[in-house]
Structures are given as C-alpha cells and as structure tokens.
Structure 1
C-alpha cells in the first residue's frame, strides 16, 4: 500500500490502480468451502437448507503502517440461502476495506436445478450493486494543501452481474462462475484513471470420501483468474460424527491455512468455524498472520404447498 504521495506520484498511483485491482478487487476467504454462494450464484440453495451466515476476516492482522491503523484489509460478509423445490434463492452483502479504499457489494442470486445423471445441474445468475469509495483524508500528500488532490470521501455505485453453473451429487460437486461481467469503471474523482471492476472467473470443486460411519474427508479446491493472473488454493477437511471438523489448505505463494469448526445444538443447526493463516510467502511486506471466523445457522427447507397437520388428543394420526 502506497503511503506517501507527491502530486505526480498520486496521479501515477491512480493510473496503476487498475493493475493493482486485478489481484485485489475481490477479498479472499480461507473458509471458501463454506462460503460458496459468494463465488458462484449457482450454489444458492445447494445444501437443501435455509442458511444464514456471518463471516469476519482480518487480512494480515497486526500490519503496522507509517500512520493510523496501517491499512490492513478487513472484510465482513453476510449471506443467506433458501431452497424452494428445484430453485435456490440467495443474497449476500459484503463490506471490504483496505487502507483508504472501501468496496461494498450487495447481490441477489437465483439458481435452477435440473436432474441429470444421478445428480443436479444448477444454472445460476445474480445481479446487484457494487459501491467503491476512497477516503482522500487517509492519504498523505508530499505537498500539503495541493489543490489538485481531492479531500473527503468520494464514492461511486454501479450495477454488477454474475453467472455460474454447478454440477452436484451426494459424493462431489464442481462449479464454474464468471463475476463482474458488466466491467464497471470507477473514476473516484480522478479523471486520469478508470479503475475497472475486472471480470473474474472461479473454478470450485470438492468431494466427500467416507471412512466408516463416523469419518468423512473432503478434498477441496478453488481456482480464480482474470485471464491474466491465476491463483489456486486447496487441501482437505475431515469431519467426525457430523459434528467436529478440521482441515488444512495451502494458498499459492501466500499461506498455509489451519481450519476447524463445530456443529452446535442438538440438531446441529448452529455452526461455528474458524481459520488461521500462517503466511509463508512475501513476508517482507506482510504481517505473518490472518484469521477468519464464521457463524452459521440453518433451518429446514421450507415446505411449499403442504398443509400443516393439526394434532389433537382425540384424533392421533
């Protein structure tokens, strides 16, 4: 993150922001296997439950800058997903801040499932609004009072859209999605820059391996690209008795991630999960740790078109 700006350097920084956005416009989640609706709209309603989730991520926690809070990324994601027969409805709201730049994303998604070859082929799409803002008061110019440098917070909102497909069975799933298809451009008060929201493509896959009645092992993989740069992460999660789970993944040229979680309550409807990133790549410019926590609550799928049974002491059925 650039911390000291002269007038020419500030202009150059905005011109280069488009290239910086290729790798940084979307936040990364270590618990991506539990947050699939964020990557692919076709995952809406995928697990057959009405699910509410709240995620908080602190990227490179403890990073120390030359002033204020240092500018390390902080991300919050709220989502819910509802299956209705062969249709899934989803929504998420994202707040992501890194230094003076804030990204906020609000998306409504839908998926339609078609039975195919012993599984389901889901086709999904989503649309919403993407807000990007920059707080010029958090920048430090080399020449205080320069009239060419903006002050205050400048923001823009543009429509955004994504599509995706996903094939799922009881043993595995694989999905492909294309996000930010409208390619919105944000000037943010700088006429010399356009700061595009670059289209991003995700490949997400996993499978379930059964070892007896109590143990499941799930290999997982996520690949993302803007067709110029690629990033991959993957590993495995093990679940015991459908209640306790732990896992390890590796993110290319960045970190080894240790994860764990527990399903609470008698019906296991409340899930608490966490991830701890041990940064092993680029440590000269990063804090060596990141962490993520996720709280999830699930309800049974709504029963559409069925009357509620009323039971009385006289008539039992």
Structure 2
C-alpha cells in the first residue's frame, strides 16, 4: 500500500508539529558533541578567554541515515580586549529538521567580564543577547485527515496554516571559574523563555536550558617543548531542559599536536551514545572530528552522528596586561 510508503514520514512530521505547536514543548535545543571546540555555544562566559582572536566553525549531521535528519551549524568569533576588561564575541547558529520543514537561526552578541580573584584563580561572567528566528514550511506537513488507508496521504487537510516565520529576542548568561589545573562553570540559555508558537494565541515557551561543566588538567609528561607534552583532561557536562536531563562524562588525552578522547552520554531514561573524538592542532589551526555511536535501547537502524570543527587563531595582539587563558580541552 502507498500508506506504508508514506506513513513513516507522515508520523515523523506530525510528531514534530505537535511538539512545536502544543501547550508543552518536549524537544531540546540543538546540541554539539565537541563542547570545548565550540566553547561559546556551551557557555558564553568562555568569550575572550584566550589572548588572541578566535574563529570557530562547527558542522553536525545527526542521524544522516534517517529521512529528515538534523543538520546543525555554528559560527563564532571572540577576542579579549583590555579596554573592556573582558571579551566580546559574536555567535550564530543554524538548525534544520525534517528536510527543511523546520529551520531555526540565531544571532547573538556576548560580553564577558574577567575578574582575577588572586594570582591562581580567575572568574569570568557573561551576558548574551540576540535574536532567534524559527520558520516552518506548512506545505511539507502531513496530517491525519489526509490519510486514505489504501492510498496514503492523498486528501487535502482542513488544518489551518499558522505564521510560517517568527522572530523573538533571546538571552543567556554564564559564569566560569578556572585555575591552571581546574575549570568549571554554569550557563543558562533561553533565560526569559521566549515563545516559539506559530499560531496566534498559542502558548509554547522555549524552556530554559541549564548547563554545568567541570574538568581537570592532569599533566602526564612535562616538557618545555609543547610537542612532547602529554596531558589528560577528565571532565563532565550536565544539561537540563525542563524534563530532559543529560550527563556527558569523558576524557581527552593530548600529546603534542594530537588529541583523542571519548565520552559516554546518558539521558534521563536510557544510555544514549558513545562518542569518539580525534583532533589535531597547530599554532594557528585546530581541526576536530567526532562520531556519535547510538547505544540507546530505542535505536532504530544506523542512527549515528558526525561532527567536524575548525578553529582559527587570528594574529595575536600585544595586550597591556596579558589576559588569563582558560586551560581546558581544545575539543
């Protein structure tokens, strides 16, 4: 029957429209697996935490074997400025779901203020403000009233189309504390829980996303020559967004320019994925690749994910007072 051919796609898209227009949202913000390669997305307080300009690009293809997979990208620029005693950054992201059915675009400006507590410990706090645009193509949606059991989705729908594009302000904040061997912080995104309803009168706020992260830097081989240094970076990242909770626990190891690591990701109800990451870094360029192997009991088919990051270090300035750099993983 034609219904078998189309029902998977129809159910998939109907589920998404229910999530988007219902009274309670259960979907989560887009996520990346290379948390520290894309630091500003993880926590805006990382803005200006290095003593040079930094450009970061991140592309993620989640579950590419499934029709209507998630495609997400992120771009950011940040730098430390003595005159503002902190960092300034610009961050943009793009997310596409359901073969272009739902698109989300964000553009944010960030300011982070650096507070040296003492010679060994520094705090950095940030505020982020921006705009978020969501658009939905109602022509690509399939509804239950279109179904003829023997033919599939053939009838016209009586469901009304809503506003295809919405734009709302969005805010975030974060704080990090760090020393030479420790780093940790907390971030809150969707601070005011803006509405993402496509229908007039509907209530559909985006839940606040809380992120807490912490890690250590453990030198294994010390050497003046960075190419011979070996370091371990055990760390944990915890996320919570309404009823969705997630723990990412893992470790990186770096030897000279090479980095490798692994994460285990646990969601509220099950084990979600095992993440493998490799990377290489030069004085000016850092490139990382990660692979998410889904291990959830709900796994259907090869629903794995790929992610690539590129970080460019711009020309170093000669600061009046050298900012305190966060010692954390590059990926």
**Pairwise TM-score range, normalised by the shorter structure:** 0.7 to 0.9
Residues 47, 9 of structure 1: CA spacing in aligned structure 2 closer, same or farther, 3 A cutoff?
A: closer
1:5-36 Cα offsets, whole Å, 9 max, x none, are 7xx99985555473322xx2x11111012212
1:66-145 to 2 correspondence within 5 Å?
A: 70-85=67-82, 86-99=85-98, 100-117=101-118, 118-141=120-143, 142-143=145-146, 144-145=155-156
* Correspondence for 1:167: 177
1:151-230 to 2 correspondence within 5 Å?
A: 154-188=164-198, 190-191=199-200, 193-213=202-222, 214-230=229-245
Contact 1:165 1:177 (C-alpha < 8 Å) held by counterparts: yes
Deviation at 1:110, TM superposition (A): 0.8
* Correspondence for 1:288: 303
Contact 2:25 2:205 (C-alpha < 8 Å) held by counterparts: no
TM-score, with structure 2 as normaliser: 0.80
Contact 1:83 1:302 (C-alpha < 8 Å) held by counterparts: no
Output the CA distance in 2 between the equivalents of 1:107 and 1:249: 28
Output the CA distance in 2 between the equivalents of 1:259 and 1:150: 43
Output the CA distance in 2 between the equivalents of 1:56 and 1:162: 22
Q: SS at the partner of 1:4?
A: helix
- Residues paired across the two proteins, number: 289
| Structure 2, unpaired ranges of 5+ | 1-6, 147-154, 223-228, 322-331
Residues 135, 74 of structure 1: CA spacing in aligned structure 2 closer, same or farther, 3 A cutoff?
A: same
Q: 2:272 aligns with which of 229, 236, 254?
A: 254
Are positions 1:150 and 2:161 aligned together? yes
Deviation at 1:301, TM superposition (A): 4.1
Residues 12, 175 of structure 1: CA spacing in aligned structure 2 closer, same or farther, 3 A cutoff?
A: closer
Residues 75, 208 of structure 1: CA spacing in aligned structure 2 closer, same or farther, 3 A cutoff?
A: same
